[in-house]
Chain A
Amino acid sequence: QQQVKQSPQSLIVQKGGISIINCAYENTAFDYFPWYQQFPGKGPALLIAIRPDVSEKKEGRFTISFNKSAKQFSLHIMDSQPGDSATYFCAASSTYSGAGSYQLTFGKGTKLSVIP
């Protein structure tokens, strides 16, 4: 079964700290790994994404680390701010043509609270 397991379910971080969210996948056909941020009442917003040909990608305060052999990837939020408080979802998909391509398989989400 195609699954993406995400942990932790919830995370409380002090302002200025580092938030780390982890995901693990099973399907070796996955080759595209995005992270989404969702605020209450809004749709998920694409934060950052990575392909397996690199081990790390950084955009501003957000970094994805990718370990292909372990089939794991993680999101690091540096200098976490109260405005980062939201639910974060990891996802994975295969971009090869054919059945199942492009559909995102999501983790269950991590509710991040950044306290002042």
Chain B
Amino acid sequence: KAGVTQTPRYLIKTRGQQVTLSCSPISGHRSVSWYQQTPGQGLQFLFEYFSETQRNKGNFPGRFSGRQFSNSRSEMNVSTLELGDSALYLCASSSQRGASYEQYFGPGTRLTVT
């Protein structure tokens, strides 16, 4: 099975711009979660989607949003970028069938805001 894929792998944006990141989960996985990783704050949960519905949201401002499509692919959007949004954005997918709770991460998108 192919793993979680994320595009693009690298992005450079300017303050005030917006950005959209994409994630394709492992085939058959219906849950997609997004995390932000920075050296200072570590790995922090952004939100989780399951069957096109946002089930959980972390403590991030409304500038961070996401969605999930019927094929389980997910996108996250950050509007009005700030310098502090520079981070590695990771997507994780999970089947959540039966007692399976494992989350598998993609390689991430490295976002640099200048």
User: Chain A interface (Cβ within 8 Å of chain B)?
Assistant: 32, 34, 36, 41-46, 49, 89, 91, 93, 95, 99-109
Contacts and interface: CB of A to CB of B under 8 A. Distances in A.
Contacts of B61: none
B77 to A, nearest CB: 19
B106 interface: yes
A44 to B, nearest CB: 5
A95 B90 contact: no
Interface of B: 4, 31, 33, 35, 42-45, 48, 55-56, 58, 90, 92, 94, 96, 101-108
B43 A106 contact: yes
A99 B43 CA distance: 19
B45 A103 contact: yes
Contacts of A34: 102-103
A109 B42 contact: yes
Given A102-B31, A109-B42, A42 B107 contact: yes
B105 A101 contact: no
